[in-house]
Amino acid sequence: TQLLEQSPQFLSIQEGENLTVYCNSSSVFSSLQWYRQEPGEGPVLLVTVVTGGEVKKLKRLTFQFGDARKDSSLHITAAQPGDTGLYLCAGGSGNTGKLIFGQGTTLQVKP
Amino acid sequence: SAVISQKPSRDICQRGTSLTIQCQVDSQVTMMFWYRQQPGQSLTLIATANQGSEATYESGFVIDKFPISRPNLTFSTLTVSNMSPEDSSIYLCSVDPLLLGKGNTEAFFGQGTRLTVV
């Protein structure tokens, strides 16, 4: 059974601080996605990484896929209150379309 | 991307009753999925809704409890049957419009249905 361990599960920081969220597995994934979910809404895709060692940037967010495609990280620079939400990593395997989600990280950025 | 409309957005139901959730997509998609998100938890895949055939259920989920229909490439329903308070969750429909043998998965989600069973 493939599992994704996401940490930390809860993070409360002050505006302007940096943070990193980790997503780890013992399994190899063909791709890994990061989603952000706000209350009352479905998850919204932030990025997909598919190549081992790949780094993608989305404004103040930096995503990295591990060389072995078993882990990923999300780094936020100078967090803002608008970054508050639930961040989810999800791994995809082959062509099934199925996603395995990590436990999620609830981020609270205080002004 | 794909625009996914899910309804109802929320409902409060009596135990023992059933609720059918609808998912409508603005374009034809091959893969549609139903997920459950229990309070304060992450998402768990319930089943893959297959067009023209029976849904494929994940371990721990059965057709009698969660019957699914997929009459065409833009629409699916999930029914939560004989509900109990433990079924109180957010139910989410998702699609992967890019999955056409490319090996990558990029899911798009509806806004979810928040179900409370009393």
Q: Does A39 touch chain B (CB under 8 A)?
A: no
User: Does the structure show a pLDDT above 90 at A25?
Assistant: yes
Output the pLDDT for position A13. Answer: 97
Q: Are B79 and B91 in contact (CB under 8 A)?
A: no
The minimal CB distance from A95 to the residues B92, B101, B106 is found for: B101
- All residues of chain A having their beta carbon less than 8 Å from the beta carbon of residue B108 are 45
B51: confidence class by pLDDT, cuts 50, 70, 90: confident
Q: Does A102 touch chain B (CB under 8 A)?
A: yes
B52: confidence class by pLDDT, cuts 50, 70, 90: confident
Query: What does the pLDDT look like over A38-94, one tens digit per residue?
Result: 988 899 999 999 889 999 999 999 999 999 999 999 999 999 999 999 999 999 876
Q: Does A51 touch chain B (CB under 8 A)?
A: no
User: Does the structure show a pLDDT above 80 at A3?
Assistant: yes
Q: Which residues of B touch A (CB under 8 A)?
A: 4, 6, 30-31, 33, 41-45, 48, 92, 94, 96, 99, 101-112, 114
Tell me the nearest-neighbour CA distance from B96 into chain A, angstroms.
7
- All residues of chain B having their beta carbon less than 8 Å from the beta carbon of residue A43 are 43, 92, 107, 109
Output the pLDDT for position B97. Answer: 64
Query: What does the pLDDT look like over B72-102, one tens digit per residue?
Result: 999 999 999 999 999 999 999 999 866 544 5
Output the pLDDT for position B101. Answer: 46
Tokens 């809704």 -> residue: B49
Inter-CA distances, B90 with A16, A58, A108, B12, Å:
32, 28, 21, 12
Average pLDDT, chain B: 90
Tell me the nearest-neighbour CA distance from A78 into chain B, angstroms.
26
Q: Does A44 touch chain B (CB under 8 A)?
A: yes
Quick one: average pLDDT of A17-23? 97
User: Does the structure show a pLDDT above 50 at B31?
Assistant: yes
User: Side chain identity at A70, as an amino acid letter?
Assistant: K
- All residues of chain B having their beta carbon less than 8 Å from the beta carbon of residue A94 are 103
Nearest chain A alpha carbon to B35: A99
